[in-house]
Amino acid sequence: MNPFYRCVLLLCLISLLTTSVFRTRQASAALPTDSSLTFEISDKPQNSVVAGFDFSNLDRNASACQDFNRFANGGWMDKNPVPGAYSVWGRFTQLDEQNISVLHDILEGLLNKKTLAPGNEQKIADFYGSCMDEQKIEAEGIKPLESELQRIASISDLLSLEDEIASLHAHRIPAVFGFGANQDAKDSSQIIAQLVQGGLGLPDRDYYASDEAKNKATRDEYSKHVARTFELMGDTPQEAAAESNTVMKIETKLAENSSTRIQRRNPEANYHPMTKIMLLQMTPDFDWGRYFRNIGLPEIAKVNVGQPDFFKAADKILKDTPIADWKVYLRWHLVNAASNTLSSKFVQESFNFNGKYLQGTTEMLPRWKRCVASTDRALGEALGQIYVAKTFTPQAKARAREMVANLVTALKDDLTTLNWMSNDTRQKAIAKLEAYNRKIGYPDKWRDYEALQISRGAYYNNFVSAGEFEFRRNLGKIGKPVDRTEWGMSPPTVNAYYNPQFNEIVFPAGILQPPFYDPKADEAFNYGGIGAVIGHEMTHGFDDSGARYDANGNLVMWWSPDDYKKFTDRTNCVVQQFDSFEVEPGLHQKGQLVVGESVADLGGLTVAYAAYQKSLAGKPRPKDINGFTPEQRFFLGWAQVWAENIRPEAARLRNATDPHPLAKFRVNGPLSNMPQFAAAYACKEGDAMVRPPDKRCQIW
């Protein structure tokens, strides 16, 4: 998956880089009430549920003008505490659960099918079946790792250490650093090799570098987790404690030389193309020729080095650290990556740290849910092909295409009249918008899994086979033209993304369902839901990072200097706004980390609102529903998407690592910048949901 995807929800899952994943016109009407409005609108009986919205999800004791998230979602939040197996519970999670149930039925049906079709059906059933075979997994314990552990034990010098790093990379375990294929940022028609920083066990380099008390506590817990895992592998407590210290020392050195997530948001900072000779000169102690041969790439013409300073430091760390210490480090990263495929004691230990400690969950997901997710990761398009045949009709695809077209038109209209943008930049922006490739539902060309070897044997072996297949498939692109038909998410995924190097907006079938889109619902709810999601992805092409890519997906400055300064001044307003939001006392959102997603939320809502207003032209004005005007329903449609409860541990983790703001800020943040919202709910200056004119952020 491309490291520059911009997603609507949570973190996009990619193999090499940890970067972001979604998950003005005046309103025409307003209610004649004051800012303390609680919407006890009528004493007459009203329907609690209409298509697209459940009005019992409101908190009518809250003020829409003080905390719209609480007003719109408070009832839902009170009725939906976070289940024990989850760190967060929201409308995304609920829809994801629905899709998982559909996939579960498909997979169980294949397991029980007497005669499976050779090819994808057989592979899907065998992969899922091997994951579900608890008795076999339990009996094998750590045996599936024996050959790789023996290979690590036999490392005797720097060259054999480098050989093992290559072997782990072929299994998609980015020990020390990550390697893969990606588009050339300045020649988007070509695929080149790419090197990126890596090698850490904690979620972010700041966990190692920061002296803040919570980070120190996390380091201590992580060290204990590493030691306990070594004990499960058969080491004594004394040996395990010493080995954990060794892992921490190496990872801390790597972290201290790693770029921050905010630094990596600048695409120019990640673009350093080199020839192999230049690479060898930069890191003289690492045998790159041997490494490339080991991973099956004898010739490399060009390599993009994402973070050169990291590789200079890593080269020295590799040379100066004793081989015995590296063997400990590699043992840890092997078992850490494999833990969830092994016997229950390893699964439980992994969950205790990654689930309980880091995210606050109190119980593990049932095995079938974990196996459904694993099968989707390994064979996403094979499984997705069956999923869309059951769930996504041609009519649904046509309706989604129509709404995307309406949103593109609305953004074009906005660009045409934008008063702060010069005509030259405007024409280039419109050309970029019109060049968007629009992908809806599922790929036109399905992925070929013929080379993937899957059996009903050990689950770990299938896990490794799937990783090797994906690694080879990825490397096979190097030196070849870009395949712009490729998708970065499987069809059942409840998410969406914009890829600046493909200049595309992508909406999997999984998200084109209620509460985002309901064909039976009032259009105000749909435009506030899926319409704003579509607008969000579209405006990612013009966020702080996406704006640096042109219509062809090349990293090039196409803005005039004056226009770009005006643009960055406006995005800096969003940075400052989100810096002010408190996750918990003393802990604030990182505005520079979440600026891309927050700019896309604000832009998406602005464009979707304009598109909804345009859709009403020439038609009778829609009636109020349960006392809510069409404009008010639009904003309720947006808010209900983000109805969510989250554990404090998970909120802290996301604040440290996720380029998406917390859900409550995704509701209140952009709406407080919109005069359309204030007009719809009769909010006035001084209300929390109305930012003062001199602090109001407006881009589109």
Torsion of CA 222, 233, 255, 167, to 10 degrees: -150
Spatial contact of 347 and 262, defined as CB atoms under 8 Å apart = no
The CA R_g of the chain, rounded to the nearest whole Å, is: 26
Dist CA 656 CA 364 (whole Å): 23
> Taken in order 575, 579, 583, 587, is the CA torsion positive or negative?
positive
Task: Classify residue 196 by burial, with Cβ atoms within 10 Å: 0-12, 13-18, 19+.
Answer: buried
**Residue 110: closest CA among 136, 96, 128, 134:** 128
| Residues designated catalytic | 537, 601
**Residue 646: closest CA among 2, 74, 32, 83:** 83
**Residue 258: closest CA among 321, 209, 329, 216:** 209
Dist CA 54 CA 57 (whole Å): 6
Instruction: Give the amino acid at 689.
Output: M
3-state helix, strand, coil in the chain (%, to 5): 55, 10, 35
Dist CA 207 CA 214 (whole Å): 9
Q: How many CB atoms sit inside 10 A of residue 379's CB? A: 25
Would you call 204 helix, strand, or coil by DSSP?
A: coil
Concatenated DSSP letters of 494-537: S--EEETTTTEEEEEGGGSSTTT--TTS-HHHHIIIIIHHHHHH
The tokens of 318 are what? 């590799």
Q: How many CB atoms sit inside 10 A of residue 15's CB? A: 17
**Residue 548: closest CA among 262, 304, 273, 267:** 267
Task: Classify residue 456 by burial, with Cβ atoms within 10 Å: 0-12, 13-18, 19+.
Answer: middle
